[in-house]
Copies of this chain bind each other. A is one copy, B any other.
Amino acid sequence: MDCYPCFLRQALDAARRAGADDVRQRAVLDRVLEVLRQIEPAATPPEIGDRVHRIVRQVAGNGDPYREAKAASTRQALALYPRLKVLVREASEPLEVAVRLSIAGNIMDVARGQECDLWGTVERVLAQSFAADDGAAFREALARAGTEGHDGTVPLLYLADNAGETVFDRVLIEALDVPVVYAVKGGPTLNDATREDALAAGLDRVAEIVSTGSDAPGTTLDRCSDEFRELYEKAELIIAKGQANYETLSEEGSRVFLLLQAKCPVIARDVGVPVGSIVLKQG
């Protein structure tokens, strides 16, 4: 119920970005109000978000309302990329810094409707203590991943979150020693990264980009392609970025490591940390 105000705000924001006039904005809101009334209590926020943003795309007649905003986020993050690389290069613990930068990038979220000071966030997250820290288990899992060397092995599957954040993911991937498969959404939903957004951020230079086969927020395995599910099953280690992946994958077991900032009270309560916390949590 705490998410309902946010869904309305997002729907209106997305409708406007989609170029909807007042009448269509009103039509979007009416349909969203109806969906919220009929939602089953067990629905997760990413599932509701999926329905809400499907309405926006349909009623506003725009398949990718956040397209421009996503491109702007990627440009903004790419402008910082050289400075991020210096931070990792000069770090005494490069992996630790790269993990923190990946989490710092999770602040990039135009759909939240709040301005963010990107460099300020980088500095904060570099200095901040983890509110949940399974870093030791993560480093162990990383060291093990890919050592078996079978054919068809997927040492590390990296589940992307938002456009722009992708650039920070790239910095982490460049600091790793294992081959990475980078999974993006199969189609536009909110400001989530698609293949186009990953390419714009240069992820093809450091990873194999694949699609989850789903255009819903988070990673709901039932809705992903058979091909992706097969990849998912084979992965030795999975990095899942952001709140929606947390909401859909936090019960998925010890192969999954959830990297995020707890940006809203609902997620923070679920993780058991204060709002604004940085989280590296084993599933």
Contacts and interface: CB of A to CB of B under 8 A. Distances in A.
Interface string A5-42: 11011001000000000000110011001101100010
18 contacts: A1-B12, A1-B25, A1-B29, A2-B12, A4-B8, A4-B12, A4-B29, A5-B5, A5-B8, A5-B9, A5-B12, A8-B8, A26-B41, A29-B36, A33-B33, A33-B36, A33-B37, A34-B37
Contacts of A5: 5-6, 8-9, 12
A254 B227 CA distance: 71
B30 A1 contact: no
Contacts of A33: 33-34, 36-37
Interface residues on A, range: 10 to 19
Contacts of A41: 26
A172 to B, nearest CB: 34
A37 B26 contact: no
A122 B30 CA distance: 41
Q: A interface, by DSSP: helix, strand, loop or mixed?
A: helix
Nearest to A36: B33
Contact of A37 (B6, B12, B30): B30
Contacts of A34: 33, 37
Interface of A: 1-2, 4-6, 8-9, 12, 25-26, 29-30, 33-34, 36-37, 41
A33 B8 CA distance: 11
Closest 7 CB pairs of A and B: A5-B5, A5-B9, A5-B8, A33-B37, A33-B33, A4-B8, A33-B36
A26 B1 contact: yes
Nearest to A8: B5
Contacts of A26: 1, 41
Nearest to A29: B1
Contacts of A36: 29, 33
Contacts of A12: 1-2, 4-5
A155 B12 CA distance: 45
Counting chain B CB atoms within 10 Å of each CB, the highest count among A5, A9, A12, A30 belongs to A5
Contacts of A30: 37
A145 to B, nearest CB: 42
A194 to B, nearest CB: 27
Contacts of A29: 1, 4, 36
A4 B12 CA distance: 10
A12 B6 CA distance: 13
A41 B36 CA distance: 20
